[in-house]
Amino acid sequence: MFHLNPIALYILLAGACLASCSPAAYRYADDGLAAPITHSLFEHKERTISEFDIPRILDGKIALRDTIRLAVFQFGAAQARRMPWYDEENLKTQQQWLDSFTLALQRAPRIQRVQYLPGMITGDNPDIHQLRESAVRLQADMLLVYSLNSDLFLKYRTFKKEEAKAFATCEILLMDIRTGVIPFTYIATTSAQSKKEKSDFDPGELNKRARDKAVLQVMLECGQKVADFLSIER
């Protein structure tokens, strides 16, 4: 029977171990620097991140492209469209928000194109994987997901019958489509107030005007934060 001495066996095992490592992983371990992540390490929707890929994601870096095609999606918009108060005036107001949001995003020199994901390709309740796939169909480089929440300050209304004060909160996340990594998130809350006008038929118009102002302000702030992030050289 053929026998290997312990030293030869060790050399063979070490060689097999090195051969099983991918070239990218080997370079990352060898140079000690943060390796750029160039492809997705989230390989399957149903699986968790592997133990091998966790340090690669945490220690890696995302290199922003010189030109970015940005896909944008509002989380929860499908439910809002089914509300009874979603009339023509509200549609015009929402379009104003989107136009202002788009202009704020386009302040970043890298932004080549801004496209909003239509509901016909995302469905009513898409998860993050479905949104990523929808953005791929638009050939987008990055995906921006945002959600809005607004309401009135009720205690403020108790003492100020001729005024209304509202707040709005916006949450955003920015995903790199190629890698699936989310390099930027932001949450902002702003407030705005409005005084009663002669043209107001009921308190609802006053309240709506205050909420609309708060939403517009918070969307502009979030759009500017994203533009600032994308403008930094990385």
Contact 82, 125 (CB under 8 A): no
CA distances from 185 to 147, 171, 181, 210 (A): 12, 8, 11, 26
- Maximum average pLDDT range among 32-41, 153-162, 170-179: 170-179
What average pLDDT does range 201-212 have in this prediction? 80
The amino acid occupying position 18 is L
Kindly report the length of the chain: 234
Distance CA 137, CA 15 (A): 42
pLDDT at 52: 81
Per-residue confidence band for 67, with pLDDT thresholds at 50, 70 and 90: very high
| Percentage of residues in the chain having pLDDT higher than 90 | 42
What average pLDDT does range 192-197 have in this prediction? 81
pLDDT at 125: 84
pTM: 0.74
Within 10 Å of residue 184's Cβ, how many Cβ atoms?
A: 17
Per-residue confidence band for 78, with pLDDT thresholds at 50, 70 and 90: low
Beta strand 68-75 pairing with 142-152: parallel
Ordered structural domains, the chain, with CATH: 8-59 (no CATH), 68-231 (3.30.160.150)
Residue that wins the pLDDT comparison between 17 and 189: 189
What average pLDDT does range 51-79 have in this prediction? 85
Whether residue 24 is predicted with pLDDT greater than 80 in this model: the reply is no
Whether residue 90 is predicted with pLDDT greater than 70 in this model: the reply is yes
Contact 144, 172 (CB under 8 A): yes
Distance CA 174, CA 187 (A): 12
Distance CA 61, CA 50 (A): 18
